């Protein structure tokens, strides 16, 4: 994700702007905007335009409403609205940012201000916006560098307050207006935090779905992205194994433990130390969960209730980071300070991040010296546990592909639908061997 990618998410809404956002229901998308963009236009949406980059040129195109129905959903009191539009493919890297109290700098305001509507370069991005405090009307303030005037900002209403974080675009809110105060310095804007859009969803529960990615609703949307088994010399050796593992997903999809249910129960306990809460919406976390639920299913452990989930989490704890570094670089300063509460001796940590590991398994005792210089009160461990690297084995989620299947691809070449039971027994032995530190 780079600064040029942001523009594809930003749209023209009448005389103002809006931002495309993918909600839970994958059948449609949203445009989040300021309500006055519609009320100031006789309550009509006459312009709804987005731009796509084609052969180095930005091409404008009309945005289709969803299913030709009444797709305008205004907040009953606040200056925000949701426009329900036909599904926009490929714009799924935007994630809501609910809490920015400790992260107030380096945002951007993106939109189509009126002053540029007659020029070819209609889009404008103001970088290095700093989020300020909350006003009496529950709007947040933002300070734009170089103090642009109201004439420069007009038409930005409904534009996005965003920042780039790795491969994602974090959406903090939607801009409403310049600060309404006399003798105030220029460049101050007011915006509505993204959390207020939940109130619109609650006002129209029959028509709108929550503002979280579709894969938070169901593992179904991740089925084609798990257990890829990349790296085999001859892919035909493991084709049936891949198919078998993905078919197990169909059973997991019927399980009441959806990503939303898991997130509700475990929340930030799934994240390593100093990982931002927005990572709970990252696809990588839920791919890891789905792959591990497949492993659990194969070895005969299949949590169906929140209490069973809690028991599993105290036996095998998933820890996630959005980092693209090798996980070996994260042990000393981040993993060591993570939440190990509830884990007893010989538990397994299942680690996942956005990088393929050089080493997939760190058995207990291998790196125990890393934690010996950390004051015990700073470690989140139960009584009786002196050092997480002495008591727990840490397994990268990729081990269940690489160590168990990819590195042994020849042992899987004879499996097909005539001996699937033998295949499942083989996988069970391989998975248990890793988990049990054999």
Q: Where are the domains of the chain?
A: 3-203, 214-435
How many Å apart are CA 288 and CA 299, to the nearest integer?
17
pLDDT score, position 386: 86
3-class state of residue 426 by DSSP: helix
How many Å apart are CA 32 and CA 157, to the nearest integer?
11
Radius of gyration of the chain (CA): 25
CA 356 to chain centroid? 19
Per residue in 32-70, pLDDT (tens digit) is: 999 999 999 999 999 999 999 888 888 989 999 998 677
92, 278 contact by CB (below 8 A): no
How many Å apart are CA 302 and CA 309, to the nearest integer?
9
- The residues, ordered by sequence, that sit 6+ positions from 395 with a Cβ below 8 Å of its Cβ are 348, 349, 350, 351, 360, 361, 362, 434, 435
Per residue in 332-382, pLDDT (tens digit) is: 999 999 999 999 889 999 999 999 999 999 999 899 888 888 888 899 999
pLDDT score, position 116: 61
How many Å apart are CA 43 and CA 110, to the nearest integer?
24
Euclidean distance between the first and the last CA atom of the chain, given in angstroms as a whole number: 41
CA 62, 66, 71, 72 dihedral sign is negative
How many Å apart are CA 438 and CA 423, to the nearest integer?
20
Residue written as token pair 């160590």:
403
Residue written as token pair 């495309």:
20
- C-alpha torsion 373→376→377→379, nearest 10: 90
Query: Which of 74, 21, 19, 20 shows the shortest CA–CA distance to 43?
Result: 74
pLDDT score, position 209: 96
161, 206 contact by CB (below 8 A): no
pLDDT score, position 412: 97
3-class state of residue 79 by DSSP: coil
> Beta 168-178 vs 188-193: how paired, if at all?
antiparallel
3-class state of residue 379 by DSSP: coil
How many Å apart are CA 238 and CA 229, to the nearest integer?
8
Tell me which residues of the chain have a pLDDT lower than 50.
Answer: 182-183
pLDDT score, position 260: 95
Q: How many Cα atoms are found within 13 Å in the side-chain-facing hemisphere of 70? A: 6
Q: How many Cα atoms are found within 13 Å in the side-chain-facing hemisphere of 360? A: 14
pLDDT score, position 67: 80
Structure tokens at 202: 């609650």
pLDDT score, position 2: 81
Residue 15 DSSP one-character state: T
Q: What is the 3-state secondary structure (H, E, C) of 330-376?
A: CCCCCHHHCECCCCCCCCEEEEECCCCCCCCEECCCCCHHHHCCCCH
pLDDT score, position 181: 55
How many Å apart are CA 237 and CA 410, to the nearest integer?
6
Question: Which element (helix H / strand E) includes 199?
Answer: helix 197-203
CATH number, domain 3-203: 2.40.10.120
């Amino acid at each position: 994700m780079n600064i040029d990618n942001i523009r594809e998410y930003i749209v023209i809404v009448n005389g103002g702007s809006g931002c495309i956002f993918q909600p839970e229901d994958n059948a449609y998308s949203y445009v989040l905007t300021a309500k006055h963009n519609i009320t100031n236009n006789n309550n009509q949406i006459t312009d709804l335009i987005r731009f796509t980059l084609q052969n180095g040129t930005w091409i404008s195109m009309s945005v289709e409403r969803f299913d030709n129905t009444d797709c305008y959903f205004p907040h009953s009191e606040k200056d925000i609205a949701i426009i329900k539009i036909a599904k926009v493919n490929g714009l799924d890297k935007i994630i809501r940012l609910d809490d920015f109290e400790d992260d107030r700098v380096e945002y951007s305001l993106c939109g189509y201000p009126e002053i540029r509507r007659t020029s070819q370069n209609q889009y404008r991005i103001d970088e290095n916006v700093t989020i300020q405090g909350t006003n009496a009307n529950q709007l947040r303030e933002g300070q734009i560098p170089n103090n642009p005037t109201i004439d420069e900002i007009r038409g930005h209403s409904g534009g996005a307050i965003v920042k780039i974080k790795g491969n994602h675009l974090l959406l903090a809110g939607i801009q409403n207006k310049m600060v309404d105060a006399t003798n105030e310095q220029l460049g101050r804007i007011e915006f509505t935090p993204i959390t207020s859009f939940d109130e619109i969803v609650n006002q129209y529960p029959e028509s709108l779905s929550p503002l979280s990615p579709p894969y938070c609703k169901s593992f179904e949307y991740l089925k084609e992205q798990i257990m890829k088994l990349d790296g085999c010399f001859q892919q035909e050796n493991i084709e049936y194994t891949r198919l078998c593992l993905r078919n197990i997903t169909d059973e997991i999809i019927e399980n009441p433990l959806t990503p939303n249910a898991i997130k509700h129960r475990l929340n930030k306990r799934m994240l390593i130390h100093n990982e931002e809460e927005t990572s709970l919406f990252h696809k990588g976390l839920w791919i890891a969960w789905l792959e591990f639920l497949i492993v659990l299913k194969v070895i005969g452990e299949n949590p169906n209730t929140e209490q069973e989930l809690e028991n599993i989490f105290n036996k095998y704890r998933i820890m996630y980071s959005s980092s693209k570094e090798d996980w070996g670089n994260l042990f000393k300063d981040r993993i060591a300070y993570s939440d190990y509460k509830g884990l007893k001796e010989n538990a397994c940590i299942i680690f996942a991040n956005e990088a393929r590991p050089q080493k997939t398994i760190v058995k207990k005792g291998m790196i125990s010296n890393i934690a010996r210089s950390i004051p015990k009160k700073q470690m989140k461990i139960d009584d009786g546990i002196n050092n997480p690297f002495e008591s727990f084995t840490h397994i990268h989620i990729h081990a269940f592909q690489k160590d168990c299947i990819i590195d042994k691809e020849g042992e899987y070449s004879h499996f097909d639908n005539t001996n699937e039971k033998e295949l499942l027994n083989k996988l069970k032995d391989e998975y248990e061997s890793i988990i049990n530190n054999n």
